[in-house]
Chain A
Amino acid sequence: MSEYFLRQEDLPRFLQSLMAAVPVVGPVAKKNHFVFQKLSSPEELRLDYDVSLLPPKKAIFPQTQRLLDFSPNGPKSCIAPREQVLFGVHFYDIKAIDMLDHLFSENVADQNYLANRHATTIVGSSIQKISDRAFWGSVGKNTQPKGHDAFLTKISGGFHFKALTEKGEKLTSHGQFSKASDAQSKEAKQVNEEILGKCPQRLQHSAEQIAQKVRASFKNEKLWDELAEKCFSCGSCNIACSTCYCFDVQDKWNLDQKSGHRTRTWDACLTEDFAKVSLGAGGATENFREKRSHRFRHRVMRKTAYLNDKLGGPACVGCGRCSEGCVPDIADPVKIINKIMES
């Protein structure tokens, strides 16, 4: 596939044309944060965002998703994907979406996710500002971002646009793209390489070393008690996460009390009831992860060890959203991992 150049001043017209053809979801400013949402004008797009509040996976795997509609006539599937372009995704979030692609297709394929995914064209973008808590430069170095359709890099005078798939290639028909010169392609490559060294936070060990040590520390109760001491089981570290994909399934009635829908909602393994079952009369329950330190441990295991065989690396991409979202500031994987490595 080919590499192109788009002048800075031609970006708005490109977006305008694209938005006329298909909904475009991208990073926009909201109060003092950035969020991914459907663009209503090209000017809204903020390619200089550092990190979005919620990860862009929500455009494919929404916080609440209808699975089935039901009525007295029976259930109906709600799979009805809408074409969209997910624009301006940083490489770490591209990695995360690629992980979800794998996890939702392995064994039993879940078309509630996959149909949305297939209808989505992903355009990545280079990182122009770095969030304070980011550590994507040092995490899971063996997994490369893939699965996206094109990648946009800010270079002198405009953007380098690399088309990676047919879908990505087609986007260029919406703008004044010219072939990128060798110098421009070289500059883009350099921009994306250099940024990796600029993260404020770093892991000191390889993914394999971390996976091994963390898994081997499972029974170190004292360590987990210390790490989770201030945790109040709010689940924010899960909800903010780029790679978390646990969900709950619930039925909701419509106002008529005859029809309704079965929906799934993001769930969080840090919350108290996540693994709790009712056993019988009198409210007897069994909570398979009763202690908050055990729930805390489960998240760390999932991010650093449990899924590595399936994914070829850790299920953490270093976005730092969990670190930012945790009120007592104990969810930061860099601090957690460094402490475990020293234990």
Chain B
Amino acid sequence: MASKEMNENVFMPKEAEILRIEQATPTERRFSLKLRDGATLDYQPGQMLELSLFGYGEIPIGFASSPTRKHGFDVVVRTVGRVSSAINRLEKGQSVWVRGPLGNGFDLKQMRGQDVLIVAGGIGLCPTRSLIQYILDRREEFKRFILFFGAKTPKDHIFPEDIDAWRKSKDVEYHETVDKADPDWKGNVGVITKLFGKTQLSPQTRVVVCGPPIMYKFVMLELEKLHIPPNQIFLDLERRMKCGIGKCGHCQMNEKYVCMDGPVFAYDQIRNLEEAFG
């Protein structure tokens, strides 16, 4: 074994500069990042990275932008613990550290030339935004493109400009709902599965689902009613992660590792896994 290879440390992150920060919601901030060494991260929509700040630690996070956008890459950090709080106190021009890309992204081959439906709940919109942008940037490669988005309240809209654009766009059939409206809200109110009543879907449709754990079961029932077979359904799952390289055991779901085998799984691969849906 070459000595260089022998000493390569899989935990060594790269330095990234914060190009832009936006306070998306009271607890979520959106970062645009670029590697300090000028290299581009060669990732696929749906893949993840470990984002870190020395002295605090690492957190796993999905790419929230598409590799077709060349400015760098976006991530959305929700303040939930020590690491994310520290990262969310950083300012433009400062550095974070990134390790990745990790895991398997969306199976684009399966989606090209097909109708694609994305069902995103809450911050499930962040990792799926990598695919949404990808499809919009290469629109001619796909047939119909339908997007369902469900948020708790209108204030939880993480990408307001994107949402505005999707509402107007002819490239995406955008449907949205909120669990709880506010006085200004004129759209749908209720759970995300209600949006299935808003449009016709062919059994050929390729479907991507990403949201809070509780959402999956209900969405799967709807898809079953539409006779969309399990191998056309892709789920983007979240688990506790530490290493991101299939060793530390934290992300395990029966015999599968979300960090290596996922985070995107075809439904037929995991529907018999007892630990996939709790």
Contact = CB atoms under 8 A, between A and B. Distances in A.
Given A68-B11, A281-B79, A301-B254, A249 B243 contact: yes
B55 interface: yes
Contacts of A289: 275
Contacts of A280: 27, 78, 80
A245 B212 CA distance: 29
B12 A245 contact: no
B58 interface: yes
A281 B54 contact: no
Contacts of A253: 55
B260 interface: yes
Contacts of B260: 107-108
B240 A288 contact: yes
A269 B80 CA distance: 22
A192 B121 CA distance: 60
Contacts of B13: 75
Contacts of B239: 275, 277, 288
Interface string B14-28: 010000000000110
Interface stretch (B1-9, B139-147, B161-169): B1-9
A304 to B, nearest CB: 12
A251 B86 CA distance: 13
Interface string B46-63: 000000101111100000
Interface stretch (A21-29, A37-45, A90-98, A109-117): A109-117
B57 A249 contact: yes
Interface in B70-94: 78-81
B245 A107 contact: yes
A51 to B, nearest CB: 24
Contacts of A14: none
A224 to B, nearest CB: 11
A110 B247 CA distance: 9
A247 B6 contact: no
A94 B26 CA distance: 54
Given A112-B9, A250-B57, A306-B254, A277 B238 contact: yes
Given A275-B239, A306-B254, A111 B6 contact: yes
B27 A276 contact: no
A170 interface: no
B194 interface: no
B11 A288 contact: no
Contacts of A67: 9, 11
B213 interface: yes
Contacts, number: 124
A129 interface: no
A332 interface: no
A30 interface: no
B242 interface: yes
Contacts of A305: 255
Contact of B10 (A110, A262, A307): A110
A262 B253 CA distance: 26
Interface in B221-278: 238-240, 242-243, 245-250, 252-255, 260, 274-275, 278
A20 interface: no
A258 B101 CA distance: 28
A289 to B, nearest CB: 8
A277 B55 CA distance: 20
- Identify whether the interface residues of B are mostly helix, strand, loop, or mixed: loop
B106 interface: no
A262 B11 contact: yes
A48 interface: no
Contacts of B10: 108-112
A104 interface: yes
A278 B248 CA distance: 18
Given A277-B240, A278-B81, A103 B247 contact: yes
Contacts of A74: 15
A247 B274 contact: no
A75 B58 CA distance: 14
Given A77-B9, A275-B250, A247 B242 contact: yes
Contacts of A115: 6-7
A247 B243 contact: yes
A234 to B, nearest CB: 17
Contacts of A218: 254, 274
A286 B213 contact: yes
Contacts of A276: 240
B57 A251 contact: yes
A272 interface: no
Contact of A251 (B54, B78, B246, B248): B54
Interface string A251-286: 101000100101010010100001111111100001
- Chain A to chain B: the 5 pairs with minimum beta-carbon distance, closest first: A246-B249, A278-B80, A77-B9, A70-B54, A108-B245
Interface of B: 1, 6-13, 15, 26-27, 52, 54-58, 78-81, 97, 212-213, 238-240, 242-243, 245-250, 252-255, 260, 274-275, 278
Interface of A: 67-68, 70, 74-75, 77-79, 103-104, 106-112, 114-115, 118, 218-219, 245-251, 253, 257, 260, 262, 264, 267, 269, 274-281, 286, 288-289, 298, 301, 305-307
Given A77-B7, A279-B80, A286-B213, 13 more contacts: A67-B9, A68-B12, A74-B15, A75-B13, A77-B12, A114-B6, A247-B249, A248-B242, A264-B248, A269-B249, A277-B240, A279-B212, A281-B79
20 contacts: A74-B15, A77-B7, A78-B9, A79-B9, A104-B247, A107-B245, A107-B246, A109-B10, A112-B9, A218-B254, A245-B249, A246-B248, A248-B242, A249-B58, A257-B55, A260-B54, A262-B57, A262-B58, A277-B240, A280-B80
